[in-house]
């Protein structure tokens, strides 16, 4: 029997019907994906929604400072104290003091940095005992924590290992992701801020090396901890369009999708206006969260000048819709105990600057929660 061919007009009609059927069920398929991602279990962590952070459907802004161990009132503590069994009590007291001070200053976020000392194993149990203590302390004060993984990048540099080879991060990422996965106080990883600019030296990593590094490490980190935000860490040189850092592509990676900068100007009393404009403006146009992970000024400028500069940064951050602003540094160092003019901490000994920080943290976090 001769094979019967389907007339072209019937074949076309059948194809149209199939397309219509698929189009009808596509919204249901999309809804199922959204429901999964926005399930109650997932919503209890801070997530990205458009160009903002949300938790349980409520907008969240992260306003606070860096928590880098400095002067504890009698002596200096360093990042090495995180790994020292003999200094556990001193570090606990320091963390208690400065998380309480942060709460009193209306901060809702602290960024932990330089927490792996060069002369320690990165997986030293004492380090994570201290970080867990900090998590509990921050939780009772309703303060989120950002963990700066540059501490591990710097540890690799000290060990003369390539810090931008993703293979050197595998064990660390597995450990970190599993350790912090279920914390509701912990909010974000910053992978490796202040990377070298490829165009500034032939010995610096290339643009492709940096892009591959952030892609692979963010994929690995998301695999072990899909609950928390992932940032590249804040980039510098963002006022120079020829620095060679492929920041647009890095900030657009699926598991990063946050534009984060360190806003330092070229002069001691300047504001990094160009960095805000280039990165903040780009993030606003592309509906990506914009975050100022770090900025700061030396106390030697004087408290009044410094307070004005802090307010200038907060103002320009508002202009570019920053969802987070974390200054350097929240701690007890002063020019007097530092013995030099390099101290950059904000604390009660700098009352005008402290007042600006407190006012802006209170206003911006309250405004976000009322939206």
- Cα angle for residues 192, 196, 199 (degrees, 5° grid): 145
Average pLDDT value for residue range 100-110: 97
Per-residue pLDDT band for 33 (boundaries 50, 70, 90) equals very low
116: nearest Cα among 151, 90, 150: 151
Q: Tokens 């508002």 label which residue? A: 318
Pick 61-369's CATH classification: 3.20.20.80, 3.90.550.10, 3.40.640.10, 3.40.50.1820. 3.20.20.80
| Omega before residue 233 within 30° of 0, cis | no
Query: Are the beta carbons of 181 and 144 closer than 8 angstroms?
Result: no
Helices (H), 44-191: 88-104, 125-140, 150-158, 170-180
* Least confidently predicted of 211-220, 327-336, 351-360: 327-336
What is the secondary structure of 220-266 as a DSSP string?
HHHHH-TTSEEE---BS-TT-TTS---HHHHHTSTTT--EEEE---S
Query: Are the beta carbons of 235 and 262 closer than 8 angstroms?
Result: yes
Q: What 3-state class would DSSP assign to 294?
A: strand
The pTM for the full model equals 0.88
The HSE-up count of residue 329 (CA atoms within 13 Å, CB side) is 17
Per-residue pLDDT band for 313 (boundaries 50, 70, 90) equals very high
Residue 198 has pLDDT above 80, yes or no: yes
Residue 14 has pLDDT above 60, yes or no: no
Residue 8 has pLDDT above 60, yes or no: no
Enumerate the domain spans of the chain.
61-369
Residue 269 has pLDDT above 70, yes or no: yes
Count of Cβ atoms closer than 10 Å to residue 259 Cβ:
32
Residue 367's pLDDT is 76
pLDDT, tens digit (0-9, with 9 covering 90-100), for 160-190: 999 999 999 999 999 999 999 999 999 999 9
Query: Are the beta carbons of 32 and 26 closer than 8 angstroms?
Result: no
């Amino acid at each position: 029997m001769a094979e019967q061919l389907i007339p072209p007009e019937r074949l076309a009609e059948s194809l149209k019907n199939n397309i219509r059927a698929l189009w009808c069920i596509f919204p249901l398929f999309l809804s199922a994906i959204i429901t999964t991602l926005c399930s109650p279990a997932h919503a209890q962590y801070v997530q990205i929604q458009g160009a903002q952070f949300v938790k349980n459907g409520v907008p969240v802004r992260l306003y606070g400072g860096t928590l880098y161990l400095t002067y504890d009132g009698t002596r200096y503590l360093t990042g090495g104290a995180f790994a020292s069994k003999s200094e556990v009590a001193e570090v606990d007291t320091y963390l208690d003091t400065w998380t309480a001070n942060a709460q009193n200053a209306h901060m809702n976020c602290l960024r932990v940095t330089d927490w792996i000392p060069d002369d320690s194993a990165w997986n030293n149990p004492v380090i994570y005992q201290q970080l867990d203590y900090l998590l509990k302390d921050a939780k009772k004060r309703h303060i989120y924590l950002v963990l700066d993984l540059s501490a591990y990048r710097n540890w690799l540099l000290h060990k003369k290992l390539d810090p931008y080879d993703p293979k050197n991060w595998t064990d660390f990422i597995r450990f970190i992701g599993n350790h912090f996965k279920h914390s509701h106080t912990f909010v974000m990883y910053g992978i490796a801020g202040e990377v070298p600019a490829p165009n500034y030296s032939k010995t610096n990593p290339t643009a492709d090396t940096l892009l591959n590094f952030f892609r692979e490490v963010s994929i690995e980190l998301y695999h072990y901890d899909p609950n928390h935000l992932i940032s590249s860490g804040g980039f510098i040189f963002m006022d120079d369009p020829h620095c060679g850092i492929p920041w647009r592509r890095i900030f657009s990676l699926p598991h990063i999708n946050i534009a984060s900068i360190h806003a330092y100007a070229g002069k001691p009393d300047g504001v990094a206006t160009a960095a805000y404009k280039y990165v903040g403006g780009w993030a606003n146009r592309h509906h990506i969260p914009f975050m100022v992970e770090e900025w700061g000024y030396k106390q030697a400028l004087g408290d009044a000048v410094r307070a004005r500069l802090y307010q200038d940064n907060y103002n320009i951050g508002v202009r570019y819709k920053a969802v987070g602003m974390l200054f350097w540094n929240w701690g007890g160092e002063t020019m007097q105990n530092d013995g030099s003019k390099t101290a950059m901490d904000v604390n009660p000994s700098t009352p005008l600057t402290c007042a600006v920080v407190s006012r802006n943290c209170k206003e911006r976090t309250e405004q976000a929660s009322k939206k």
